[in-house]
Structures are given as C-alpha cells and as structure tokens.
Structure 1
C-alpha cells in the first residue's frame, strides 16, 4: 500500500527539476527540425480516411458498434495493458492474459509495445524537462502530437528503459510488426460488411473500425500528454506540470487523473478521490474478483 502527503518535500532534486520545468526552451537542434516523412504521411492519411468514414454513405449501426467495441478494446489495452501493467508493473496477471492485453494495446498502432513503454518510462524520468520527448514546456501543440513528427532522441535509450522486454520474442515480434495486426482485422470486417449487407458495405466497416478509431484513440492518448499538463487541478505538488483533468479522464478511462499518476507512478489506481472515476481501475477490480490479478499496488489520497 502506497501513501504520500501532498506537501512539498523541498528536496534539492525537486528544486532542480522544477527549475528545469520552468526554464525557457532553446530552439530544437537542427537534426530535430525536419519532419519524418513516414510518420507524417501516415498520420495525414489516417486523418483523411477518418474524415471519409464520416460521410453519410458509410454510416451504419454496425459500423458504430465496431467502432465502440474496438475503442474499448484498444483504449483498455493501452491503459490497463501497456501502461499500468507493463510500463509500471502496478499489478501482475497470468502470462496469457498479459499477452492478450498487450495485443489489444498494440491495436492502437502507437508504435510497437517496446517503443511505447520505453518512451513512457523516459517521460516519467524527465517529465516536462527539456529532454522530455513531449515536453509541455514547448507548448500545447508540441506536447499533443508534433513531437512524434520529428526525430525522437529518447529512442536512443530504448534498451535502458525497456531492456526487460527485449529478451521476449513476443514483445520483439510485436514491436517490429505491429502494423500487421490491422490486416486480419480489416479483412474480417470487410468480409462481414459485404456478407451481411451492411449500409456502406465492408469498406464502411473498415473505415469506422480502423482509421476513425485510430484517429480518435490517437487524440485521446495525446490529450494525456498535452491537456493534462495544462488544464485541471493538482492533488500533489509534483515537480512537473501534471494535472487532473476530468474530461480527459472520461475519454481515456481514467488516465486523465494525471497528477495523481505522476505522484504515484506505481499505483494501479489513478482516481484517488471519491469523485475521480477511474474506468481502468474498475476493470482491474473486476480482474481481482475473478482471481486474475495479484500484487496490486494502490495509492490512497491522504484526505
């Protein structure tokens, strides 16, 4: 059980970190100023296809259902699987369940699981400091999504921050081939849409379940990096800009209680006060009742 006081410790390390957070930012190094062609093109294509999905000709209740189910699977895979389970080891589950949750998270197409986890751990090490890859000190747009369109120096330290995963063939394969997961999903949806005579056909189902879902999940995830470092309130005086933002918490299944998370990174529970609803934590509690979790670490708000 983890408990902490929201009072400032006043340590020299925290003072140095706070000074780094508030310092003016130097311009990006020359090597980081160019846009990455592959990532930028992929994001443009996904956003265009997501817009096409919203055309009336592709609307169907089946498409909405596919979007909703896959949104739940993908967001939960990121929040419960990649984030709380693997990145922070806030609890333990059987190996088979970890693999399922990680595959669900990898369906978010936010790079492979090793890269995602390495970058997240790096973010906690240097949160809102100049070498944080989505440093909020560079502005809302940078921390939201611009950072990923440029070279990411933090990836040079992937072995340091995710070395525990590099020995796993499962994680290494997913990290390399994560994009391939969308292919069988798309083929199955296309076949069903045409076979069932869905309005908009198989193409409509694919557009709603893949590009539209991905774009919405992208922005929800990015809001945790941007909005929750700019808007909301703080329960704990962390040496960064993290905040608790209720509407991001709703969209991201509890990840919006970000100040709580930065104060207690190892806690499986992010919503610590009675009104801070944490949907991911409710799923963890369900797994507990089913006997599928152990060593669940939980912080408590000292109020």
Structure 2
C-alpha cells in the first residue's frame, strides 16, 4: 500500500480495550471545562464567532469528515493533500490524533503492537506519526495564535468553549444515539437515529443508518435527516477533490421498508 493510502478498519476484530483512570487526563478535561466557564466573563461577538467557525472546521471537517468518514471508514477518496489537511484539522480538536483514535491502549508498547498488527501502513506515514506525537503542541500553537489575534476572549472561546462543545457532541453520538430516537434498520445493536444529536454533530446522529452502512459517506438517508458533512463531501466531489464517494444503493433503502417506530 502506498504512503498515505490507509486501509479501512471498520470490519477488523480489534480487541476490546480496558480504560484505566488517569488523574492527569481527568485534570485536563476538568481544566477545559473550567476554562469554558471563565469564558462567560470574557465574551465578545468576535470571540463567539471564532468559536463556532473553529468548531465547524475542526469538528465537522476534521473529526466527522476527516477522522470518521474518511480515515476510519474510507467512505470516499481524496488526494493526499486533502486527507492530511482534514487530519490536521481533526487533530486540532485535541481528541488525540487519528492513530490514537483508532488504537488506544494504556501502554505505548500495547499500542505499537496493535498498530503493527492491524494497520502497519500507519507506521510508514510520517505525517501521521508526527500528529500522533505533536497533537498537544499543535493545540498550544493554535491557542497562541488566537491570543495574538484577539487576546483571552479568543483563547477562552476558540479553545476552551469549542473543545467542550466538541467533546460533548462526540460523546452524545456514542451515548444518546444508542438510547433515544428511532431506527430505520434492525441492526444487531442499540444504535438509533437521534435528530437533536444529528443537529449538533453535523449529521453524525443518524447513527442507526451509519451502523447499517458503515462505509457510506452519507449518514442522513431520509429527506429530513440533516447531514451537512455529506453535502460538503458532495461539494468536494463536484470540484474534483473527492471521488469514489460511497452511498447505500437505492434498492437497499426503499422508503416503504423504513420504520418510524421509536427506539426501545
């Protein structure tokens, strides 16, 4: 496999991980939330605008489109430059790097064993090794840039508030979209389509659809299932910046077979 062309991992039987409590991680998450509270006393219209702009490009484009739909599930193809740019944006969300997202264990040795077994091509991509080691310094660099541009309001809103919003939208997909909403497909799990999660996560909340078609770049399958990330992928395709965009075959989602029954 060539440098930069990573294999999909959605079908791999990766061993379940056992997370252990780490005080420094808890302290980091607490500090981010405290910073978001302090931001209330440093609010400017420009700072709020910066927050939501960065939430879009690092959350929607970086995490949802880059980390999830492209790098994890390979639901479309793009040039190496576009792929690396999306991965960089995702890294600025400080939800670890792409490599850490896919392969996390409590020990560095265990992580390396998993990477070598399931995705040895990652080891050959220098850019992803760089992101794996430098995601925190890159976040600090962004914070310094924001301080230079707008002082503490830009830092508190562009970093702390944005990260709190990003973290909780990610967590909502993995919790609320397995508890609330409706199911279009009878998948062997608890995944649901939750409209309010989809609204705040740029379409990731149509989780039952995603579980049924994990390699589809389109998560919202019905007319009202809001999916701006897919629309952006479509726009890239029109511009020639994305291709082989995977979507479910029309016959696989006939309207008459979709159930509106609420999830249990």
Q: Match for 1:208 among 137, 140, 157?
A: 157
Larger radius of gyration: 1
Listed as ranges, the gaps of 5+ residues in structure 2 are: 1-16, 256-264
Matched, 1:248 2:197: yes
Q: Which residue of 1 aligns with 2:92?
A: 107
Q: Which residue of 2 aligns with 1:137?
A: none
Listed as ranges, the gaps of 5+ residues in structure 1 are: 1-28, 120-132, 134-149, 194-201
**C-alpha separation between the residues in 2 aligned to 1:83 and 1:73?**
14
Matched, 1:167 2:124: yes
TM-score, normalised by the number of residues in structure 2: 0.83
**C-alpha separation between the residues in 2 aligned to 1:219 and 1:162?**
28
Per-residue Cα deviation, 1:157-193 (whole angstroms, up to 9, x for no partner): 3444443322211001101110111222112211122
Structure 1 vs Structure 2 CA RMSD: 2.3
The question of whether the paired residues in 2 share the 8 Å contact of 1:114 and 1:166 is answered with no
Q: Which residue of 2 aligns with 1:42?
A: 28
Per-residue Cα deviation, 1:84-111 (whole angstroms, up to 9, x for no partner): 1111111101110111111011111011
**C-alpha separation between the residues in 2 aligned to 1:111 and 1:38?**
14
Q: Which moved further from structure 2: 159-168 or 227-236?
A: 159-168
**C-alpha separation between the residues in 2 aligned to 1:118 and 1:168?**
15
**C-alpha separation between the residues in 1 aligned to 2:217 and 2:198?**
15
The question of whether the paired residues in 1 share the 8 Å contact of 2:115 and 2:122 is answered with no
- Measured at CA, do residues 274 and 160 of structure 1 come closer, stay the same or move farther in structure 2, by a change above 3 Å? farther
**C-alpha separation between the residues in 2 aligned to 1:223 and 1:161?**
28
User: How many residue pairs end up in the alignment?
Assistant: 234
Per-residue Cα deviation, 1:201-228 (whole angstroms, up to 9, x for no partner): x011101000110011000011011100
**C-alpha separation between the residues in 1 aligned to 2:100 and 2:116?**
10
Q: Which has the higher contact order (CA 8 A, sep 6+)?
A: 1
TM-score, normalised by the number of residues in structure 1: 0.72
**C-alpha separation between the residues in 1 aligned to 2:63 and 2:172?**
14
Q: Which residue of 1 aligns with 2:146?
A: 189
Q: Match for 2:37 among 44, 51, 68?
A: 51
Q: Match for 2:166 among 210, 217, 221?
A: 217
Per-residue Cα deviation, 1:57-83 (whole angstroms, up to 9, x for no partner): x01011011101100011121011111
Q: Which residue of 1 aligns with 2:188?
A: 239
**C-alpha separation between the residues in 1 aligned to 2:85 and 2:160?**
22
**C-alpha separation between the residues in 1 aligned to 2:21 and 2:168?**
19
